[in-house]
Chain A
Amino acid sequence: MSGAADLQVLIARLTGIAEEMGAVLQRAAFSPNIKERADCSAAVFDAEGRMLAQAAHIPVHLGSLPASVAAVIARFGTSLGPGEQAMVNDPYEGGTHLNDLTLVAPCWVDGELIGWAANRAHHADLGGAAPGSLPADATEIQQEGLRLPPVRVTDDTVAVVLASSRTPDERAGDLDAQLGANAVGVARLARLSPSSFHEVLEHGERCCRAALDRLGEGEWTASDVLDSTAAGADGSDPARIVCTVRHRDGRLTVDFTGTDAQRPGNVNAPEAVTVSCVSFAVRAALDPDLPANAGVLRPVEVVAPPGTLVAATFPAAVGAGNVEVSQRIADVCLRALAGAVPDRVGAASQGTMNNVLIGTAHPGVSGAAWVYYETVGGGQGGRPPRPGFPGAVARPGMSGVHTGMTNTRNTPVEALERAYPMRVLRQRLRRGSGGAGLAPGGEGIERELLVLEDVVVSLITERRVSPPWGLAGGGPGAVGENWLLPGGDEARAERLADKCTIRLGAGDVLRMLTPGGGGWGPPA
């Protein structure tokens, strides 16, 4: 009677393959964004494209990789031969935002297609209107950079990618790493017997059902807003996301009906991103140890009306969908789930990734084109006592940390200053920015960056207007603030919008204060 052991051995091997692919990708990657910040993920799939295991370094990749494999299968069927790979980044055909380039490889054994290996990496620049390929003023996808439907990886298609980027050397190295990671995944997957793969999915489904048992039956609704959608006539108006969670007859429906229509700016998410956010919220609120496979989502239905902020349709720009809309979708899902399991959900965390993209294609002192991408941590929401630990007490949120849909590392100040013509003047916790509460919110970060040559800066940030909410009587966290100090002069400081693309001259200082987390429970 070793079914339970065989199952776990298979799960361990599949997970091991995904982790090994992730290790190869991260080890071999050329660019700091993948190597140092780990903005990447890897997974293996069965022949039908159902995900069997994933090594995710950031949650926003969790549910969105399967869409890429589905798009490759839809376009190529079985015509991708052994040793061939496809790549895709088109948000309207399996991608999320253009920076995320996904490579997909079939696994053939003796003429039979037994599965797929896929990995995704955030490429720091794939062209478009501003360095970093996330121009804050984009109104259509074509302005955001190179758009690749699923295509074969060949010398010709790679040449197109390199020619589109401001930093082609990085792209070449990163693509080599991605190809190598899939090659490892395919070779190892080929040694497993596909006849038991379905058992892994059934295990995932059983785990999810057990987690759903923690919810009573019912319906809970929550809504929240994005500060702005950048470009367009209504760009500075808040945009609403509504989420209704229904648990009935063993099924969980997460329904975004009522969410605002997509906008002309780039603050729109493809549906694949929304699925990632739902996966994240279910894990965070119900069971952090749920396996990462397609079976887990079988009892879960995501209803995302097309043409809304959470299921954008062509030709909407979507650059901020992955990096900012995703944070709000996660917030709204968690808030709705808090109605069902109030002891398992904390107050809102900072709710933004605080994206900073700086670069130039026309180098001055540095002598070469460069693109720098950073996301900045903030406050985690205050937390109720840890469930399942009798005697646990409510806990303040962590400070200066990534929350929600990302978890990328920062660039060390010393590494940044030695690599780019910039200087960090200050990087401290933003004292007092956490929301009041029995468990106060964590604090945001204060960061000042001096640029030493003329550059283009894009800021893609949120929670500059609507604060991270408190819960169970706790107060909101402080909103974030973006400032420009021309020439570093405090007297000329001007407040910047939450999303903007601007030019800075040598000597200008960018000041960012990131949001604090909300407080949980009434303040003492």
Chain B
Amino acid sequence: MLIGADSGGTFTDVVGTDGRILKIPSTPADPGAAVRDGVAGLTGGGSRPELLAHGTTVATNAVLEGRLARVALVTTEGFADVVEIGRQQRPSLYDPWHDRPEPLVGREDRLEVHERLDAAGAVLVPLGPELPRPADGVEAVAVCLLHADLEPAHEREVAARLRALGWDVSASHEVSPEFREFERTVTTVLNAALRPVCGPYLAGLAGEAGEVAVMTSAGGLVGLDAAAASPASLLLSGPAAGARAAAAVAAACGFPDAVSFDMGGTSTDVCLVLDGAPAEVAQHEVAGRPVRLPSVDVHTVGAGGGSIAHLDAGGALVVGPASAGAVPGPACYGRGGTLPTVTDADLVAGRLPAGVGLSGIGALDHGAAITALAAAGVDAEGVIRVVEAGMEQAVRRVSVERGVDPAGLALVAFGGAGPLHACGLADSLGMAAVIVPAAAGVLSAVGLLTSPRRRELVRSRARPGDPSGLDDDLAALAAEAVALLPGATVRTFVDARYAGQSHELTVIDPSGFAAEHRARNGYDRPGHPVEVTAVRAVATLPAPAAIEEVLAAWAGRWPEPVVGPVALVRDDCTIWVPQGWVGSEGALGSLVLRRRAEA
């Protein structure tokens, strides 16, 4: 058997290729315990599974909670403070107390080396013989020298000398060999700071299956060793798996272009799907810090079922950003919460049927929800419309950013609260259909089994304006990628821009750049020189399991017909089908909802 295990804040979801699922309460102090329990639960203590595919929150939580190793940073002389100056922006225009994230490296741990390369990677100042000495108490070292993405010789030498002394070193040309020193530095430092945290955790899972694979932010499975070496690539592990599975379900239902909508208790993840795959980006943000590694382009909104509603000073009904969290939670949880949340509004509005119990919570307290809403002077329908208006902006944002109009796409709803709000959201955006996948409550765990094994490589080009040698660069990188993943299919891309621009578009080859620029930005510049700043390669091997196999057991579980208004209560989520909407079973055991006129 193959098993997918996705660690979440509340539950660890476990799915087998036979379609069985388990929801195990997460064990934050030792997240591996819930994973091990889940594996044991599915195997019944019998033979070890052939494969465990894991989505982990260990790296993300370490960043969010500041549980990071102490890191020394080695930079080019004169540039020790890049990690603090950043892009010199403040996070809030008007709030003087809104600080930037703390620099990940203390001033005493920023070390400079005497060396310098020029903008083409040629040596201006040779690397000096002296080696900076990390202080006692430092657990890992990051090395990020200027222009090392073009010429890593100095970085390699510094890293080798430090490794010879026993230091755990992350070098920027290994972690994120792309230009723009602040982003590369932060990514490298995060990687260094996470290795001592993630390494032992991942090693502890090694015996759980014949093979253990880990989901990266880019939505691909890598082996335990690769994951432990590059934990900065795991920061969107769970959301990436969910987006990949959502994309597969949408495509199977006839919607290769869609938006995934994963609404949970405290936040909501939205991702554009094009041609059956989640959109990807070369850089994302975690807790206000840039991470320059490939990832699915998930946009997170700080609103979910637990978001608190109130009237602002001007009398408008505002939802969030404060959240009741799991404790005290929504008023209807009966755990002491008195402030009205989206979940309370869903209950009072009848979207969550009275008497329904939520897994792990039990029966909901209808009266407490009514009291909380009334005390705050807000009404249930109003709260719902406001939270959906916020989600509407998030969906528009991920699609408009890519020059795509969300009207006509499908909305793939999952997570505890997604299917409660999807139809309203789809209505306001003119979207064609709402798809609730089978196993919507454990979709990320399904995605772990059905995502490809994958590695990504990138190399900067020293002379972006010179097209000669581009084919050789691409072929060399492709060969490198295959060496990492023998037998893989490799696709190559280039980062291209018009000369004079400071931003790049990733396209298959430079000849397609003008068309992509026109599609994304509305114009192109015929005759203007095109530069290639970097080459990329993506190597993939097929997923461990086909999604048809994993979801086979879920066919035929929807009532027929589904006619709104009705709330469908399932084990893993509740679906609200409003007046005027009808649904029927679609591919892969999903429920496809449409407005009646179109059904």
Picked from A207, A290, A402, A412, the residue with its CB within 8 Å of the CB of B90 is A402
Q: Are A203 and B525 closer than 8 Å at their CB atoms? A: no
A-chain residues with CB within 8 Å of residue B88 when the two chains form the complex: 376-377, 400-402, 409-410, 445
B117 to chain A, nearest CB (A): 10
Contacts of A24 in B (CB 8 A): 400, 522
- Decide if A5 touches B383 in the complex (CB within 8 Å): yes
Q: Is the CB of A400 within 8 A of B397?
A: no
Closest approach, in angstroms, between the C-beta of A391 and any C-beta of chain B? 14
| Residue A255 at the chain B interface, CB threshold 8 Å | no
Q: Who on chain A is nearest to B80 by CB?
A: A428
Question: For chain A residues 264-317, which have a beta carbon within 8 Å of chain B?
Answer: 280, 283-284, 287-291
Judged by a CB distance under 8 angstroms, whether A488 is at the interface is: no
In residues 461-490 of chain B, which contact A (Cβ within 8 Å)? 464
Contact residues in A for B82 (Cβ distance below 8 Å): 413, 427
Q: Output the nearest chain A residue to B98 by Cβ-Cβ distance.
A: A288
Does A228 lie at the interface of the complex (its beta carbon under 8 Å from any beta carbon of B)?
A: no
Q: Do A20 and B400 have beta carbons less than 8 Å apart? A: yes
What residue in chain B is nearest A213 (Cβ atoms)?
A: B313
B77's nearest neighbour on chain A, judged by CB, is A426
Residues on B with beta carbons closer than 8 Å to the beta carbon of A19: 393, 397
Could you tell me if B379 and A27 are in contact, using CB atoms closer than 8 angstroms? no
Name A206's contact: one of B78, B149, B179, B314 (CB within 8 Å).
B314
User: Provided the pairs A173-B523, A418-B179, A423-B118 are in contact, do residues A4 and B381 lie with their beta carbons within 8 angstroms?
Assistant: no
CB-CB under 8 A for A12 and B386, given A203-B316, A399-B84, A426-B79: yes
Q: Judge whether A210 is part of the interface by a CB distance below 8 angstroms.
A: yes
Please give, as numbers and ranges, the residues of chain B lying within 8 Å of A163 by CB-CB distance: none
Which of B90, B119, B500 is within 8 Å of A169, CB to CB? B500
Chain B neighbourhood of A210, CB < 8 A = 313-314
Check: A365 CB closer than 8 A to any chain B CB.
no
Among B149, B317, B523, B525, contact of A8 (Cβ-Cβ < 8 Å): B317
| C-alpha spacing A203/B313, complex, angstroms | 9
Interface pair A207/B99, CB less than 8 Å apart = no
Is residue B318 within 8 Å, beta carbon to beta carbon, of the partner chain?
yes
- B322 adjacent to chain A (CB < 8 Å): no
Q: A177 at the A/B interface (Cβ < 8 Å)? A: yes
- A401-B100, A410-B88 given; A4·B378 CB < 8 A: yes
Partner of B119, one of A377, A399, A423: A423
Select which of A59, A287, A414 is within 8 A of B181 by beta carbon: A414
Nearest Cβ in chain B — how far from A55, in angstroms?
11
Taking CB atoms and an 8 Å cut-off, the chain A residues in 14-69 that contact chain B are: 15-16, 19-20, 23-24, 27-28, 30-32, 35-36, 56, 58-59
Question: Complex Cα distance A277/B20, Å?
Answer: 61
Residues on B with beta carbons closer than 8 Å to the beta carbon of A288: 92-95, 98
* Contact A27/B94 with A5-B317, A5-B383 known, Cβ cut-off 8 Å: no
A11 interfacial by beta-carbon distance below 8 Å:
yes
Q: Which of B515-535 contact A (CB under 8 A)?
A: 520-523, 525, 528
- A12–chain B nearest beta-carbon distance, Å: 4
**Which residue in A36, A211, A445 is a CB contact (below 8 Å) of B313?**
A211
Structural contact, A413 and B314, CB atoms closer than 8 A: no
- A284→B94 contact, CB < 8 A: yes
Complex CA–CA separation, A232 to B314 (angstroms): 49
Contact present for A413 and B393 (CB under 8 Å): no
Q: Is the CB of A425 within 8 A of B78?
A: yes
Residue from the list A283, A412, A415, A426 in contact with B94, Cβ < 8 A: A283
Compute how far the CA of A403 lies from the CA of B93 in the bound complex, rounded to whole angstroms: 8
**Residues from chain A with Cβ under 8 Å of B385 in the complex:** 2, 5-6, 9
Are B498 and A30 closer than 8 Å at their CB atoms? Answer: yes
B181 touches A412 (CB 8 A): yes
Closest Cβ–Cβ distance, residue A13 to chain B (whole Å): 7
In contact, B316 and A4 (Cβ under 8 angstroms): yes
Contact between chains at B315 and A7 (CB < 8 Å): yes
Cβ < 8 Å to A, chain B residues 126-174: 146-147, 149
Whether, in the assembled complex, B390 has its beta carbon less than 8 Å from a beta carbon of chain A, the answer is: yes
Q: Which of A16, A180, A380 lies in contact with B392, CB distance below 8 A? A: A16
Q: How far is the CA of A184 from the CA of B78 in the complex (A)?
A: 45
Asked if B81 contacts A35 (CB within 8 A), the reply is no
CB < 8 Å A-B pair total: 222
How near does chain B come to A329, taking the closest CB pair, in angstroms? 16
Q: Which of B100, B317, B520 contacts A27 (CB 8 A)?
A: B520
Q: Is A170 an interface residue (CB 8 A)?
A: yes
Q: Are A401 and B520 in contact (CB under 8 A)?
A: no
Q: Which of A4, A207, A377 has the most CB atoms of chain B within a 10 A radius of its CB?
A: A4
Bound state CA distance, A16 and B179, in angstroms?
A: 32
Q: Which of A5, A291, A413, A419 contacts B146 (CB 8 A)?
A: A413
CA distance A386 to B396 in the complex (A): 35
A237 contacts partner chain B, Cβ-Cβ < 8 Å: no
Minimum CB–CB distance from B68 to chain A (whole Å) comes to 21
B89 at the interface (CB under 8 A from A): yes
Q: In this complex, which of B79, B382, B520 has the most chain A Cβ atoms within 10 angstroms of its Cβ?
A: B382
User: Which of B87, B95, B98, B464 has the most CB atoms of chain A within a 10 A radius of its CB?
Assistant: B87
Verify A36–B502 contact, CB threshold 8 A: yes
Residue B359 CB within 8 A of the other chain: no
- Inter-chain contact A377/B118, CB cutoff 8 Å: no
Tell me, in angstroms, the Cα distance from A13 to B428 when the chains sit together.
11
Q: A463 on the interface (CB 8 Å rule)?
A: no
Most B-side CB within 10 Å, residue of A9, A288, A403, A445: A9
A190 to chain B, nearest CB (A): 15
Chain A residues near B89: list those with CB within 8 A.
Answer: 401-402, 407-409
Q: Chain A residues with Cβ under 8 A from B522's Cβ?
A: 24, 28, 176-177, 180
Contact indicator B521/A401 (Cβ below 8 Å): no
A20 to B398, CA, bound (A): 10
Complex alpha-carbon distance, A379 and B85, angstroms: 11
Provide the bound-state CA to CA distance between A376 and B85, in Å. 10
CB distance from A33 to the nearest CB of B (A): 9
Chain B residues within an 8 Å CB radius of A289: 94, 312
CA distance A184 to B501 in the complex (A): 23
State the Cβ distance, B398 to closest chain A Cβ, in Å.
Answer: 10
Give the residues in chain B near A184, CB-CB below 8 Å.
Answer: 400
> From B148, which residue of chain A is reached at the shortest CB distance?
A414
Interface status of B327 (Cβ within 8 A of chain A):
no
Kindly list chain A residues whose C-beta atoms are within 8 Å of the C-beta of B501: 30-32, 35, 173
Whether the Cβ atoms of B97 and A395 lie closer than 8 Å is yes
Question: How far is the CB of B467 from the nearest CB of chain A, in Å?
Answer: 17
Residue in A closest to B523 when the chains form the complex, CB atoms: A176
Are A23 and B401 closer than 8 Å at their CB atoms?
A: yes
Chain A residues near B378 (CB, 8 Å)? 4-5
Question: Taking CB as reference atom, which chain B residue is nearest A4?
Answer: B317
Complex CA gap A169/B525 in Å reads 9
Q: Check if B100 sits within 8 Å of A398, measured CB to CB.
A: yes
Question: Is B46 on the interface with A (CB-CB < 8 A)?
Answer: no
List residues 542-599 of chain B with CB under 8 A from any CB of chain A: none
A–B pairs, 18, beta carbons within 8 Å: A2-B381, A7-B315, A11-B316, A16-B396, A20-B396, A30-B525, A173-B501, A177-B522, A180-B521, A207-B312, A284-B95, A287-B313, A380-B90, A383-B97, A400-B81, A401-B85, A401-B90, A414-B149
With A5-B317, A27-B521 given, can you name 14 additional A-B contacts, CB distance below 8 Å?
A: A4-B317, A7-B315, A19-B393, A31-B502, A173-B525, A177-B522, A207-B314, A284-B94, A288-B93, A383-B97, A402-B89, A409-B87, A410-B85, A413-B82
Of all A-B residue pairs in the complex, the 10 with the closest CB atoms, nearest first, are A5-B382, A377-B88, A210-B313, A32-B502, A426-B78, A28-B521, A288-B95, A400-B85, A288-B94, A207-B314
Q: A residues within 8 Å of B by Cβ? A: 1-2, 4-9, 11-13, 15-16, 19-20, 23-24, 27-28, 30-32, 35-36, 56, 58-59, 167, 169-170, 172-173, 176-177, 180, 184, 203-207, 210-211, 280, 283-284, 287-291, 346, 376-377, 380, 383, 386, 395, 398-403, 407-415, 417-419, 423, 425-429, 445, 448
